[in-house]
Amino acid sequence: MDFYSAYAHGFARVAACTMPVAIADPAANARTVLEQARACHDDGVAVAIFPELTLAGYSIEDLHLQDVLLSAVEAAIDEIVEASTGLRPVLVVGAPLVHGTRVLNCAVVIHRGRVLGVSPKSYLPTYREFYERRWFAPGDDRRGSTIRIGGVEVPLGPDLLFSATDVPGLTLHVEVCEDMWVPIPPSSEATLAGATVLANISGSPITVARAEDRRLLVRSASARCSAAYLFAAGGQGESTTDLSWDGQTLVYECGELLAECERFPDGPRRAVADVDLDRVRQERLRQGTFDDNRRTHDERVGDFRTVAFELSPPTGDIGLRRKVDRFPFVPDDAERLALDCYEAYNIQVSGLEHRLAAIGGDTWQPKVVIGISGGLDSTHALIVAAKAMDRLDRPRADILGFTMPGFATGETTKSYAYRLAKSLGITFEELDITGAAEQMLKDLDHPYSHGEELYDVTFENVQAGLRTDYLFRLANHRGGIVLGTGDLSELALGWCTYGVGDQMSHYNVNAGVPKTLIQHLIRWVAESGQFGDETNDVLEEIVEQEITPELVPQKGSDKPQATEESVGPYALQDLTLFYVLRHGYRPSRIAFLAWHAWHDADAGEWPPHLPEHRRIAYDLATIRRWMVVFVNRFFASQFKRSALPNGPKVSAGGTMSPRGDWRMPSDASAAAWLAELEANVPQN
């Protein structure tokens, strides 16, 4: 595999171009198109689209019917076709073309010296400022047709797909302006027929708020069709006799904006992005209703024609022209992050609120029993429980919090537990498990009981198991349920003690929350004023601490036990988890994305409030090393996930519940994933 090549990983570079048009001067417009086409070629672009009626200008009105203009357009197409021989991109240019006794408003698709096909505009507006039927005939009845261009008969119709034989998944469909504005656009049918990249070449004069209307339509089409959608509108040079033009360009993918240019530009502009063809394919694989919809309309979509072409994509490292989030579960935008935190927190709170009401009915109000370590996860579970009690109009004293120090419990975290419990007004006790742990180790005849400093998995799990055992018995004894605190990342990596351990609870509010989101949730709770100042102050301190299980005693000045030294940086592991769980990507592809996200600490965006010391870089060797750990732990730990307690799904990225997003056998082999990683991800 050409690891550093975007095309090798299922991406294709596209460009939505706008340019100054010379109205009624096809020769001049052809030269401008070719200038931009050459720039796109140099940039590694596969598909470049230009606005509606590019070669003539949209706003020339009755000149569309003049023989001189129509002949000049044909000559301009011939010029572009000839010059395209040495150019990589598929070029989509707008042109008025005679077919039969009428002129059609067409998108001409050109590649490497030939016209691949012509897509006519199906729906012609004749309302408000539009009078297109005065000049053009609708193209919706041209399915299965052909047209003669440059002495060659080529396919014509809205039923054309253009498919690259050497770029898997790159199948293009083109529609024209108004086609996007009707209830069932041609692109919807094309999508069901297999199109993955949808293009709309548009004239679209600008009026107040029309840009947002276009954005809404493009975004929704890309989301609904699970496709990439390119849009290019007419701009500079179009006649301003009665209208004005803004040259808006957009590239969306599955509802997400990848690229756009400034509006009302002076000179040509290109919105360039690498669209993710593998993502499109995977989205459609997962959404079975996509193909069900195809079956409903099979009689019509089955008649689409496919025109094949060979792109010859660039090789090597051409960069990646799209944003890759370092933290897929955590938005970089402050406003979006705040909204996500609001929704996530309230999903958890309402989930617990309903569970408590459902258990108790009209006769019993179960208490909440929770172990509080002073770490991130238990802190967040506690503030979820506190808010649930507030909403149920119950006293927070019905939360029974226990801190259970063991062999390595630190004074700092224990103090956080005390301060947080006091500030929230819950019932709080300390239950030291050291004696019980020593007795169990003695009963097991563990070397530690004979004075040896052996801190193995048994030593650790005796403590973790005892804590959970006590919580369950306390819940029995005091009339409550055990609230789980373990998060999604720990479940994915198996970083939890099975059975009588932190893997088990009566209800786990954190089961759908990844580790990288927890600290932002806690910070949002503090900043949004969910509790008082005393609570908020403690929360702000807790989010800054290093993640540690505090199970192995610390010697002198030794560094405390660090979770991430065992399971890997959660920043990297959560990125891998997101792409495995949500998209089913292969390890080499995830490594490619991780490298682009993390290899340069100075590039790209970071989530708000992330401390400077956490804004670091990871090289490919480090990414590869921890991905091996992820794959091994992920497969080895499925038995823990197969027996998860209930808990709400929080993120669209997914959850590990066997009743929800994730089902796999506990004895599945990781061999194929490890082999793919070994074969395709370089050591450095």
The residue among 545, 520, 479 whose CA lies nearest residue 608 is: 520
Distance (Å, rounded) from C-alpha 261 to C-alpha 247? Answer: 9
Distance (Å, rounded) from C-alpha 298 to C-alpha 293? Answer: 8
Catalytic residue among 106, 121, 253, 260: 121
The residue among 167, 229, 172, 226 whose CA lies nearest residue 6 is: 167
Distance (Å, rounded) from C-alpha 210 to C-alpha 26? Answer: 28
Residue type (1 letter), 169: G
Claim: this prediction has a pTM higher than 0.85: yes
Catalytic residue among 40, 52, 225, 649: 52
What pLDDT shows up at residue 506?
97
Contact 616, 601 (CB under 8 A): yes
Residue type (1 letter), 37: A
**Catalytic site residue 79?**
no
Distance (Å, rounded) from C-alpha 509 to C-alpha 472? Answer: 17
What pLDDT shows up at residue 561?
79
What pLDDT shows up at residue 368?
98
What pLDDT shows up at residue 557?
64
How far, in Å, are 77, 156, 225, 325 from residue 189 at the CA level? Answer: 28, 16, 9, 32
Residue 177 DSSP one-character state: G
DSSP state string for 296-314: HTHHHHTT-EEEEE-----
Contact 210, 240 (CB under 8 A): no
Residue 451 DSSP one-character state: T
What pLDDT shows up at residue 204?
92
Q: Which residues of the chain have pLDDT under 70?
A: 556-557
End-to-end CA distance of the chain: 14
**Catalytic site residue 323?**
no
Catalytic residue among 40, 177, 341, 496: 177
| Residue 405 host element (H or E) | none
Count the helix, strand and coil residues of the chain and give each as a percent rounded to the nearest 5.
45, 15, 40
- Could you write out the three-class secondary structure of 488-525? HHHHHHCCCCCCCCCCCCCEECCCCCCHHHHHHHHHHH
Distance (Å, rounded) from C-alpha 490 to C-alpha 203? Answer: 52
**Catalytic site residue 442?**
no
| Residue 367 host element (H or E) | strand 367-371
Distance (Å, rounded) from C-alpha 464 to C-alpha 65? Answer: 82
What pLDDT shows up at residue 363?
81
Instruction: Provide the β-strand partners of residue 16.
Output: 49, 271
